[in-house]
A and B are shown apart, each in its own frame.
Chain A
Amino acid sequence: MDWKLDDGRPIWPQLSQQLARRIIAGVYPPGSRLPSVRELAAEAGVNPNTMQRALAQLEQEGLARADRTAGRLVTQDAAILEGARLREARAVVQDYFEAMSALGYSRERAVELLKEEIP
C-alpha cells in the first residue's frame, strides 16, 4: 500500500486517513503494534512531526492507543473498528456520487447503475 498525498490539503489528515484505512484493511491487525513515528515518517517520506500529529488523531478516534512500553497498539475494540469502517465506506460512497455527478448523473441514476452491476 503506497502513500498518496494530494496537494492543496494539509498533509496530516491525509496521513491519518490512510493509516485508518490500513487498520481497517488489516494491514495493521487489531492489537498489533504500529511502527514507530520515525519508521512511518521515513516510509511515507514525510516529516516526523506531521506523522506524529496523524497518529495523535488516530488515538483521538480510538483506533490506536499509546502503550507505555510498546509504542502504539491498534485497538481491539470491535465497535470502534466497525465505526471507522463504516465512516470510510460512507466516504467512498460520497466520492462515487461526486464522480457520477461530475459525469452528469443524478444520485438516483447513479444508484440504478450500481444495482445493474449486481447480477
Chain B
Amino acid sequence: MSDFLIECRGLYKSYGLRPALSGVDLEVGPGRIVGLLGPNGSGKTTLIKLLCGLLQPTTGWLAIDGEAVGPYTKSVVSYLPDRMYFADWMKALDLFDLFRDFYADFDYQKALAMCRSLGVEPKDRLKSMSKGTKEKVQLVLVMARAAKLYLLDEPIAGVDPAARDFILRTILTNYNPEGTVLLSTHLISDIEKVLDEAIFLKEGKIMLHATVDDIREKEGKSVDALFREIFKAEPMWEGGEDRAV
C-alpha cells in the first residue's frame, strides 16, 4: 500500500469534447487539510466527483488509500456534494439511521450533538426545512463520520456566517487526525489559515501544489493574494506558466 491517501495519475476527463480535467497527477498524504482552489469551471467539482466515484475518468487512474474506487473507498470517504441529495419525505433522523446502517464510522450521538449546536431539530421533516437548514443537516451527516477522507465541495459558499464558522471549527476539531480533508472553494481568505496545502486548479490542470507556508515564504504574499494575481490579472501577466510547479 502506498503512503498516499489520494493518488492520481494522468487523470483525464471530458464531457463530450470539452475536457474538464486534462492530465492531473496528484498525491495527498494522510492527516492533511488541503484546499482545492480555482475559479468556476476549473475542474474542482469534477476532480472531487471522480474521487468519490460519481464520475468515471476518461483515461488515467486514481486510488484512495491504495485502492481503486469501489465499496471500500466509499466506506472511508465522506462526501459533501454541492447540492441537496435526499428525498423530501425523510426526517433528519431517518437520514441518521441510514448513515448508521451503511457507515460503520458514523457517530449517531455526535450527529445529534451537532444538530443541537447548529439549532437544527432532527425530528423535523426535511420538506419543511429551509435551504440553509438542509445544508446544515447534510454537513452534520458528513462531519459526524470518522472518515479517512473528507471531500467537501464548496462547503462555505452559500451558508450564513454562523454556519461558516461552524464548518471551519468542525473541520478543525472534529476531523480525525489520520483523516485528510480536501475542500474546494473560491473563497480563499476565509479558509487560508486552516489549510496545510493549496492546490491551484486552472482549466483542468494543476498549476501549483504547495504548502501554504511555502507559498507565503516564497512569494511573500498570502495564498489569497497569489490566487488573485494568477486568476484575476491573468491576461495582463506574461510568463505566468513559470510559476507552475
Contact = CB atoms under 8 A, between A and B. Distances in A.
Interface of A: 5, 7-12, 38, 41-42, 44-50, 53
Interface stretch (B94-102, B212-220, B233-241): B212-220
A41 B216 CA distance: 19
A50 B196 contact: yes
Contacts, number: 57
Given A10-B216, A11-B216, A45 B221 contact: no
A28 to B, nearest CB: 21
A6 to B, nearest CB: 9
B60 to A, nearest CB: 29
Interface residues of B, number: 22
Given A8-B216, A8-B220, A41-B172, A47 B196 contact: yes
A7 B33 contact: no
A11 B172 contact: no
Interface in B161-196: 168-169, 172-173, 177, 193-196
A49 B222 CA distance: 18
B31 interface: yes
Contacts of B172: 38, 41-42, 45-48
A9 B220 CA distance: 6
Max chain B CB contacts within 10 Å: which of A44, A47, A49, A53?
A47
A7 B213 contact: no
B217 A10 contact: yes
A10 B193 contact: no
Contact of A49 (B31, B169, B221, B224): B31
A97 B216 CA distance: 26
B55 interface: no
Contacts of B220: 8-9
